[in-house]
Homo-oligomer: A and B are copies of this chain.
Amino acid sequence: MKGTLSLGVDIGGTGVKMALVDRRGRIHQLQKFASPTKASPAVFLGTINRWMRGFVGRDQFRTLRGIGVGVAGDVDQAHGRVRLSPNLQWHNVPLKALLRKHLPPIPLVVDNDANAAAWAAYWVETHRRAKNLVCLTLGTGVGGGLILNGALYRGATGSAGEIGHMTIDPTGPACPCGNHGCLERYIGARALVERACQAVQEGEQSVIIELVGGNLQAVTPLVLQQAAQRGDRLARRIWQEAGERLGVALASLVNIFNPDRIVVAGGVARAGRLILAPAQRVMRRRAFPVPGHAVHLSLSHLDQDLGVVGAALLVP
C-alpha cells in the first residue's frame, strides 16, 4: 500500500535534516544530524542510509510514499547525480545510485536544495496558487529556485535558478564562482560578516564587539541582527545596504519573470524587515510599474525547514 508520508532529506554543508512530511507539507517528525567530516561521498551516504533507517524505522520503510533528497550543489536530476557541490566537496557523485542499493523499491528523487525550497514555498506557502514564484534562500550562499507556470523550472541541464550569481555590479568583488559582483557577494552571510569585521577593525564604533565578547570570529548574521535591533549604526547600515542590493536584483527579476510571488528564506532572511523593507522599497522604485505592483514579496514561514519539506513534496 502506498503511504501518505514521504521522507525528505536535506543534505547541506554542515548538517543533514530529515523529516516525515504529508501531502499538505506538514511535518510529522523531524531530526537533524551533524555531517560526518572528511567522509568520502560513499561513506557519507552509507551513514545517511543508517540514519534514515533509524529515523523512519526499519519496518516502516515500505509504507513510505517515497524519498526526496535535496542537496546543495549542481544536480543532474534525471540521473540523480551531483555534478558539483563546493559545500560538500563532492564532484560527480552518483547519489541516487549509491542510496538506491540499500533501499526498497520506492520512488526516490534527487534535486538541488534551492529547487526543493522553491517547491515547498509554492506548495505550502501559496497553496499552489502563485503559478510563477521566485524563491531565494539567503544563507552562507544565496540560492534560488523558480516555479514557472506551476512547475519547477530546471533549464537545459538542470542548473537553472542560480540567482545568487546574477551580476549586481560588473566591477564588484570577485566571487568564488569565477564571476565578479555576484549578488551573493553582497547579501550572503559571509559577505555581511566580512563587512562588519572590516569596519570594526578599521576602528568603527559598534556594539557588535561587545556582543561577541571581542571575538570577531563569532560574528554571525544573528549577531548583526541583534546589534541592529539595539540601534547600532554600523549594523543598521549593513542591513540597509544589503537590502538595497537585494532590491536591485529583485527589480531585475520582476522585469524578467513578472512573478506572482517572491519568497525569501534562510538564515540571513531572519533579519526580517531589516533587510526586506529596503529591498521592497528599491524593488518597487526600480521595477516596471505593472509587474512591480503585481508581485508579492514575503518571508518564508517555513524558513529553515523549507528545503526538507520541499524535498519530501518533490516525490510524485
**Contacts from A to B (Cβ < 8 Å):** 74, 83-84, 131-132, 144, 146, 148-149, 151, 153-163, 165-170, 177-180, 245, 248-249, 251-252, 255-260, 285-291, 294-295
Contact = CB atoms under 8 A, between A and B. Distances in A.
B251 A154 contact: no
A111 to B, nearest CB: 14
Contacts of A166: 252, 255-256
Contacts of A156: 131-132, 258-260, 291, 294-295
Contact of A286 (B160, B180, B256): B180
Q: Count identical subunits in the complex.
A: 2
List 8 A-B pairs, minimum CB-CB distance, nearest first.
A155-B258, A166-B252, A160-B258, A162-B255, A156-B260, A159-B258, A179-B286, A159-B291
A158 B258 contact: yes
Given A167-B251, A256-B166, A151 B154 contact: no
**Which has the most chain B C-beta neighbours within 10 Å: A144, A156, A162, A259?**
A156
B167 A155 contact: no
Contact of A157 (B154, B258, B285): B258
Given A74-B290, A160-B258, A162-B256, A155 B132 contact: yes
A93 to B, nearest CB: 15
Contacts of A252: 165-167, 252
A279 B156 CA distance: 20
